[in-house]
Amino acid sequence: MKYTKDHEWITIDGDVATVGITNFAQGELGEIVYVDVDTVGESLEEGDVFGTVEAVKTTSDLFLPVAGEILEFNPEISEDDGDNPAIINEDAEGKGWIIKMKVSNTGDIDNLMSKEDYEKLIG
């Protein structure tokens, strides 16, 4: 698992990555009530906004850790399917993943933070 300064995490299997927000981020946001991802099928660049997370207190943009094509929005979270955004609060770095994507350049993952570096960032 690798991390961004914007509190997203990413894991990769071949050229398909799973992306979500960190436990720290979900804790800071509080109760998550809605997640919007309308970029499925789109190719985006590293750092582009791929969706938003809405909590009781605030709404935050979701930033893509690496460039690639958005393949899937977690059906358990999607309003059209499972409509359970609270799963992010329950298991942010597991079942609460947000998207799956096809990575344009898997080498970009090397530019992200390790768990140790991320833990230093959040103090």
3-class DSSP state of 101: strand
pTM of the predicted protein model: 0.95
Mean pLDDT of 115-119: 97
Does 93 have pLDDT greater than 90? yes
Does 82 have pLDDT greater than 90? no
Instruction: Indicate left, alpha or beta for 13 from its phi (over 0: left) and psi (-120 to 50: alpha).
Output: beta
Q: What is the pLDDT of residue 80?
A: 82
Chain centre distance of CA 113: 14
Comparing 18-32, 47-61, 72-86, the range with the smallest average pLDDT is: 72-86
Burial class of 49 by CB neighbour count within 10 A (0 to 12, 13 to 18, 19+): exposed
